Every structure is written in C-alpha cells, then in structure tokens.
Amino acid sequence: MLDEETFTQYYEEYFPLIFRYVSRRIADRAEAEDLVSTVFLKAIEQRESFDEEKGSFKTWVYRIATNTMIDFFRKNAKNSHTALGDELIETVPSQEKSANRLTDEHLEKDHIHDVIGTLSERYQEALLLRYFSDSSIEEMTKILNISPNNTSVLLNRAHAAFMQSYTRLTPHDT
C-alpha cells in the first residue's frame, strides 16, 4: 500500500509522463487532461491494491492509464483521433523526397498521425508504450497483461503495420 507522502512523490514524478502518454492518443488537450485526472483519481482510490512486489509504480499507473484510454475509446469510438506519431518519423525508411516535402515537416507529422490512425488500437498502444513512454518489453508485458514473447510479436507487427501503411499512404513523386 502507498502512503500519502509516497503517492505524492510518485504523482509529481509520473504526472507529466502519463500526460504525455495520454496526449499522444487523445488529440483534444482538454480531454487528455480530464483522462489524466481520471487516471490519478483511480490510482488514489486503488492505492491500497498497489503491491511493489508485483511490479513498479510505473507499470501500475501506466496500466491504469491504458485501461482508462481503452474505456474512453470504447465510449467515443466514432470521435477518437490519435495524436501518436511525431517521433515515429525516425522509423520511416529514408527515400528520395522532393525539396518541398523535406521543408514541410508539419505536413509529414500530420501524415504520420493519419497513418497511425489507420492502425488497430492494440498496435497504436504498443507503439505508444514503446516509443513515447520508453517502456521496456518487460514493462509493456505487465501493462498489456501478455507474455514477453507476445509483447515482442505485437510490437514487431505494429511496427510492420505502420511501415506498410506509411508506404501505401505516402504520395510518391513520379
């Protein structure tokens, strides 16, 4: 169980990380802020169930955040828009691009967001945990509640799906 002082320290440490994690999936800042507040309210309410022997606070709070976002997307499926994608630009294979394309980074980021939005929620979640939350495979395993092997497979498939969609949806110069 977490005492108030320890919880406050964790809150101060993890609030910005959880906000970044949530805001990468939720494009609307106000909605992201509301969800992060919900995550920490749930954490406060459930702090008696936290057991450091079963896992770190990071894993525990990211799991709460993941479940909160899943609930959010289920309720708002038709209105959901992902904000994930900026850092994935680095994973896109280099290809010859026009000078206009190279100078317009904003359009590239918008395109990355659009591509990620075509992926399943599970793939988006895997990419978000790995690339934006710097979660290890072990941490992802606990957050997603799957085996380490399945976590690696999921991450590889998510990355492959992203690359395939990116290639398919990227306009090619002729």
Mean pLDDT of all residues in 131-158: 88
Higher pLDDT, residue 157 or 88: 157
Tell whether pTM > 0.75: no
Q: Rounded distance, CA 143 to CA 130, Å?
A: 11
Q: What is the pLDDT of residues 14-44, one digit of tens each?
A: 999 999 888 888 878 889 899 999 999 999 9
Domains of the chain: 1-81 (1.10.1740.10), 82-174 (1.10.10.10)
Mean pLDDT lowest among 4-13, 25-34, 57-66, 93-102: 93-102
Q: How far is CA 169 from the centre of its chain?
A: 22
Query: Which token pair is 94?
Result: 């280099």
Mean pLDDT of all residues in 143-158: 91
